[in-house]
Structures are given as structure tokens and as C-alpha cells.
Amino acid sequence: MEHLAPIVLFVYKRPEHTLQTLESLHQNPLSGQSSLYIFADAAKSDQDQASVNQVREIIRQKQWCKEVHIIERAHNFGLAKNIIEGVTQIVQQFGKVIVLEDDLVVSSSFLHYMNQALQAYQHQAQVMQVSGHVPPIKFNNYSPDTFFYNKIATWGWGTWASAWQQLNTDTSYLLEQIKTTGQTIAFNADGAYDFIAHLEANIQGTLNTWAIKWQASVFLKQGLCLYPGTSLVRNIGFDNSGEHCGHSTLYLTQKIAEKINFEPITVEELPQVRKVMTKHYEQLAVPPSWLQRLKTKALVFIRGQSGKSH
């Protein structure tokens, strides 16, 4: 394997979660050969200061990787800014990066898989991200070791400088491009989930997230994300402790694989993958999205009837 990708970890005020993340990372055989960059955000208020201090003590408890570099923010960046600036800094310096947050427990083979995939697809421009997590989905008569899908993942992922430079943080531009090119339904997971609403909320200022901007940027470039057939990451943040996570046992109890077989596959999104992922997003959709899906199905029907008349 060529030079290993540096790991960036974003932490804030969850000491117990941070410790679990670091311990699981340390259990990876490749951690002893890897460089870890920890971006520790500053407290937003005096109320958070004690927890922030605890986290900053924990990240210094052990030599978690071969090299550990700690970047302590002097003032509060917030999750979105911290991730965008942190990933940009490291990926520009090293050409590739593996990204973790402080509520992710990783399999002992996580780093091996991530580095294999980042090396295998580094010259495939359409592949813009590698994910270590996959939702608890089930395929019928299809058990892939890995597969491609046109949406990004945010829980344990990696990318390259050439892909990350495609990130566009102009949310209004992204929304306009998706709508004017007639790709609203496709962007909304074939009408299963209202991702457009996430873009709109960022524009309105009621939401401040980085992932939807990255997802839209990848989508408009017709990029793909590689997923493992079985997850190598468990999100332990669905206990009401996270900034954008509530409570859910769906992910808290998700089993992770000790190892998956990795072999490069054809860079394409298969119909059976899209079908299963669309079903997953349908199950995740909150009640308002039922109305959105009804509107979408009506629009698809109308367009289909319109096409028949020409």
C-alpha cells in the first residue's frame, strides 16, 4: 500500500463519545503507521467549557496514532466551518484524507479498507468519495462487498484533493443549478426524501450544515461514492448528544463488520442499488415528505403522460 491517508478527527464537547472513537481508531493495526489531526473546537458558551476541557484532556491521554497533531480552535467555529476548513487544510497538504467525527466507532479494519479504496480509485474522477458507513439496508439476491451510489456519506469517509476542490459552498447557486437542470426529483433520492429542503434551510439560515453542500456539489458533477456492503462504522451519537442528531436505535445498535473483502469494481451505479437506497430514504423521511413524495409521483406521472403525447 502506498502512503497512508492522514486522518482528521473533529471533536467538541462529548468526552465519552470522543474516547470511544479514539479507542476504536487505536485498535486499527494501521493506526501505528498513520498520522492523526484532531481539530478541537472552542466552547460556544461558558456552559460548554467544562466539557470542552474534558475533551481536550482525553485527546492527549494516549498516542492514538503514530503521529498526533492537535489543533485547538481559539474561538468557536461550529461544526460546518470546522469540517470545511479542517478537511481543506489537510487534503490540500496531503492529497487525500480520511474524516471522522467524535461520535463514530470504527471497525478494526476501517483504516485498511479506507486506504485500499482511496488508493484504488484515486485516478477515477467520477469517484469523489469513499464511505466506511452504509445504512442498515438489505439487498434481494445481491450481496456486494462494495457498491457505488450517487449520494455522499458523512460518517467515516475519505476523499481526494481533486474531488474536494469541487466543493461549492454557495447554497443558492447549488439549488438554482439543481432546479434549472430539472434534477430536483433525482436529487431528492427519486422523490423519497426532501434533500432540497436542506438546501433551502441553509439559505434561510435555519440550518447551517456542510454535508448538503458537498452532496449537491458531488451530485452536479455526476460523482459517485463507494460504500461497503456491510458497515465498518457505527454512529453512537443518536442519544440526543449531537448537534444535528436526535435519538434513534436504528444506528446506535447497528452491527459493524470486522472485515470486508475489497476488490476494485466497475465505476457505475447499479439499478438494484438505487432501488434499495431509495427505499431506505423513504423509511427515513419525516411526515412532511409524504406530501412531497405524493407531489413528486404526480409530477412524474404528468411528465410521463406529456412525453407520450409527443
Cell 448538503, residue located: 212
CA distance 190 to 280: 12
Low-confidence ranges of the chain (pLDDT < 70): 1-2, 240-249, 286-310
Residue range 61-105, pLDDT digits in tens: 999 999 999 999 999 999 999 999 999 999 999 999 999 999 999
Crossing angle of helices 211-220 and 171-180, in 10° steps, is: 40
List % helix, strand, coil for the chain (3-state, nearest 5): 45, 15, 40
Straight-line distance from the first to the last Cα atom of the chain, in angstroms, rounded to the nearest whole number: 55
Euclidean distance between CA atoms 100 and 102, whole angstroms: 7
Give me the pLDDT at residue 179, please: 97
pLDDT of 250 = 72
Bridge partners of residue 184, in order along the sequence: none
Cell of 67: 503521529
Q: What is the pLDDT of residue 111?
A: 98
pTM attached to this predicted model: 0.89
pLDDT at position 41: 98
pLDDT of the residue at 143: 87
How many helices (H) and strands (E) would you count in the chain? 12, 10
The domains located in the chain, with CATH, are: 7-169+210-269 (3.90.550.10)
> In this predicted structure, what is the pLDDT of residue 172?
98
Place of cell 446506535: 252
Grid cell digits, residue 51: 466539557
Q: How far apart are CA 163 and CA 123, in angstroms?
A: 10
Give the model confidence (pLDDT) of 185-195 as tens digits. Answer: 999 999 999 99
Q: What confidence score (pLDDT) does residue 285 get?
A: 76
Q: Given the C-alpha cell 439499478, which residue does it identify?
A: 271
pLDDT given at position 253: 83
| Residue pair 88/164 in contact by the 8 Å Cβ criterion | yes
C-alpha cell at 130: 469513499
